[in-house]
């Protein structure tokens, strides 16, 4: 048994309010079921969700003591992709099941030398950047679909 507060309840962005301790996590760390985390202010707690879950920037975990912890997307090393035909480049990124954050003027992906080479070969301009990474959800607006992962909720419609 642990003396740490435990988070077993997730509130999605827009479905919670109040004061919350910020907890910065990169994209990979936001995919979890059971893990010890620490907020920016040093509050340690244990996440113990019923299933592996993709946490999004702006979600909140409710601790068993009633406190809230807000999930904040941490800055990480990414590739900024630009070019004259972003739609075509986005298609090639999606065809490789690579998580992608879509903006009107650029695409952001995790740093990957193989994908970078492919994109440059297709005429993209690729620049290394450091930014929070909040890629699009799965085909139905949630979940992770890269690398053909099939978690329990991946194919619920």
Mean pLDDT of 70-76: 97
Closest CA to 100 of 79, 127, 117: 79
pLDDT, tens digit (0-9, with 9 covering 90-100), for 24-72: 999 999 999 999 999 999 999 999 999 999 999 999 999 999 999 999 9
DSSP codes of every residue in 109-143: EE--HHHHHHHHHTT-EEEEEEEE------TTSSS
Mean pLDDT of 82-104: 95
Q: Is residue 53 classed exposed, middle or buried when 0-12, 13-18 and 19+ CB atoms within 10 A define those classes?
A: buried
Mean pLDDT of 97-103: 95
Closest CA to 135 of 82, 84, 85, 76: 76
Percent of the chain with pLDDT over 70: 86
Closest CA to 128 of 90, 84, 88, 76: 76
pTM comes to 0.82
- In three-state secondary structure terms, 69 is strand
139 band by pLDDT with thresholds 50, 70 and 90: low
Percent of the chain with pLDDT over 90: 84
């Amino acid at each position: 048994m642990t003396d740490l507060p435990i988070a077993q309840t997730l509130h999605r962005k827009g479905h919670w309010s109040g004061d919350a301790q910020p907890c910065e996590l990169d994209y990979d760390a936001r995919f979890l079921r059971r893990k010890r985390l620490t907020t920016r202010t040093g509050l340690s707690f244990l996440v113990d969700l019923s299933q592996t879950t993709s946490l999004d920037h702006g979600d909140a975990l409710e601790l068993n003591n009633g406190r809230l912890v807000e999930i904040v997307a941490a800055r990480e090393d990414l590739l900024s992709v630009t070019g004259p035909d972003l739609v075509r480049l986005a298609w090639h990124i999606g065809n490789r099941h690579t998580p992608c954050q879509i903006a009107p003027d650029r695409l952001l992906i995790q740093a990957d030398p193989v994908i970078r080479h492919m994109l440059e070969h297709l005429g993209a301009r690729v620049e290394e950047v450091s930014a929070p990474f909040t890629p699009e959800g799965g085909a139905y607006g949630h979940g992770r679909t890269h690398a053909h992962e099939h978690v329990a909720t991946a194919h619920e419609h």
